[in-house]
Structure 1
């Protein structure tokens, strides 16, 4: 074969390769997105486990094009920091306590700081799965340069304190750790003195007398050993706090459409998986609190009567609704209307 013939064959091969790689982008070297995910909850909690589940699912679904490194227990940032670092792009993804985001939009408080608002977890999940709710929250987050990926379950909200908190008289003057502004609004309406601090700071605050009790939940009671500083454990569910898995919007938009789709699929699958884990583990935390930990540490586990709960709700719920509607009426109206619509 002559030189001209070889040149023609070489040109044909080159053109074929260019066409093939244009038609099938995967034939070329695909970009790999490496992301850090900050989880503020301690090891062993449902949120931490669900974060790792998302990491594994997104790697599998994208064929390794999205690789997530999970940093649990506040190793990278505390709850309050995520409000700044995710919108700015200093962090790719975070598990976010949305009651710390109420300075950006007060309506976000209903997601995590939802004391006395939902009947039970089934009610919360019906509400959360409404397309109207997801669209409204995602739209509000986009204004902050953030993208909603999914919900991520924590458990239930109760109080562990140095005395029983059954009546407004019990709450009066009590210094109570609150996990955000809407939660603090409820504590104040009940007569308490709220102090908003991150999850990781609760043990020190309790042991040093900065607070008399902590509004949180059984995973944190146990994992952070709050029972060493307070013996009275409320068994009644006051709320059903949900965190959100949030990504920087610029980062999300930099991904090809097919990769975006797979990231959202992975987040949704992890969310549904995490719901069962959350319920199973909540039962296990209570088994420890009402069993071996109660015996070893002399814990007093108590349940509010329906009448006591009704009195507290009548004080806290109107105050929470007023705050949200006054500061962020548009989002709040949509979310509260859907709360009512999803009651059984």
Structure 2
């Protein structure tokens, strides 16, 4: 009898061990969509992230990237990631702010001094607090990746002062801070999905748009725009989200790898973007666009009421903490 019990115990132990091993070795095949073109840095950094995650999980977590909104439009993907119909998305904080309003603080005009300031804020306590707000809506922030400071293009005239924007129809992302900012500058802000922007410019639905140089180049906006002004008026981050339920169903080891690698790639993404921008501006000029640098002072002054208004929304403390971060 003793031998039978001992044998049975051994079999149960072996079965339990095999079950645990099988659970841990489960494969996860995830889809990550983004709006960048195949030659945009979004695809470069997403692919690098996918490769590192696969390597660090011994191939058990595989991420397939889908550029150019081929998996769906940004708003659809963000909402899908929150409710579980989509795995992952590399999006913009402007789109995310429609579901998590607090994230819109990142887009306040002239809030950040430079890219180093951005990294200190988003990779620190404030970034963690904003990520908790996102988590409450059903998604985990894998990392605050890079998009960059934005600049205005148009097909009408050079823009060197706020008055040059008066009455001009400018496409903005689907985020309320962008609308308020361009109203303050005297423009007529028009939210249009990014995937529809080129045709909107081509057909004259809007006169101009605002984006970092990578999008101006890879989306070929130079074909339908003549002027670009380096205003650097708003910074846009690119949070990477994963569905919370999916994330929490994974082994803790895989969760940590996704988070640690995401944080690592955030800093790398910023450096990648900064390294590319000088060459991108040269290419934009070579494509025939007139590039104008501006005195930012009048633009800062014109948009100051936007920050004052949003102090009532986000609170003095949060805005002051961002501005005072070294």
| TM-score between the two structures when normalised by the length of structure 1 | 0.86
In structure 2, the gaps of 5 or more residues are none
Separation in 2, partners of 1:317, 1:95: 30
The change in CA–CA distance for 1:194 and 1:144 in structure 2 (over 3 A counts) is same
Change in 2 beyond 3 A, CA 1:18/1:222: same
- The answer as to 2:117 corresponding to 1:123 is yes
* More divergent stretch after superposition (311-320 vs 205-214): 311-320
**Hey, what's the Cα distance between the residues in 1 that align with 2:137 and 2:78?**
9
Question: Partners of 1:243 and 1:144 in 2: how far apart?
Answer: 17
How far 1:317 sits from its partner (Å)? 3.4
Task: Please say if 1:342 is aligned against 2:317.
Answer: no
CA RMSD of superposed structures (Å): 2.3
Q: Which residue matches 2:161?
A: 167
Partner of 1:43: 38
- TM-superposed CA distance for 1:217, in Å, is 1.5
1:26 CA drift (Å): 3.3
In the TM superposition, 1:298-309 aligns within 5 A as 299-305=289-295, 309=296
Contact 1:41 / 1:199 at 8 angstroms: preserved in 2? no
Decide which structure has the larger Cα Rg and report it. Answer: 1
Corresponding position: 1:136 with 2:136: no
1:48 deviates by 1.9
- Residues 337 and 37 of structure 1, relative CA distance in 2, 3 Å threshold: same
| Unpaired stretches in structure 1, ≥5 consecutive residues | none
In the alignment, what sits opposite 2:218? 223
Shift of 1:71: 0.5
CA distance in 2, matches of 1:5, 1:133: 61
Contact 1:45-1:154 within 8 A present in 2 as well: no
Following TM superposition, by how much is the alpha carbon of 1:168 offset from its aligned partner in structure 2, in angstroms? 2.8
Q: Return the alpha-carbon distance in structure 1 between the equivalents of residues 170 and 61 of structure 2.
A: 41
Offset at residue 304 of structure 1 (A): 0.4
CA distance, structure 2, for counterparts of residue 19 and residue 93 of structure 1: 32
**Partner of 2:11 in structure 1?**
14
Structure 2 CA distance for aligned equivalents of residues 12 and 100 of structure 1: 55
Following TM superposition, the consecutive aligned residue runs of length 4 or more in structure 1 with deviations greater than 3 angstroms are: 4-13, 18-22, 25-29, 324-327, 332-335
Distance in structure 2 (CA, Å) of the matches to 1:105 and 1:20:
42
TM-score (norm 2): 0.91
Q: Deviations over 1:196-252 (max 9, x none)?
A: 122222211111111111111211111111111111111342233211001111111
**Aligned equivalent of 1:239, options 234, 243, 247:** 234
Secondary structure at the counterpart of residue 245 of structure 2:
helix
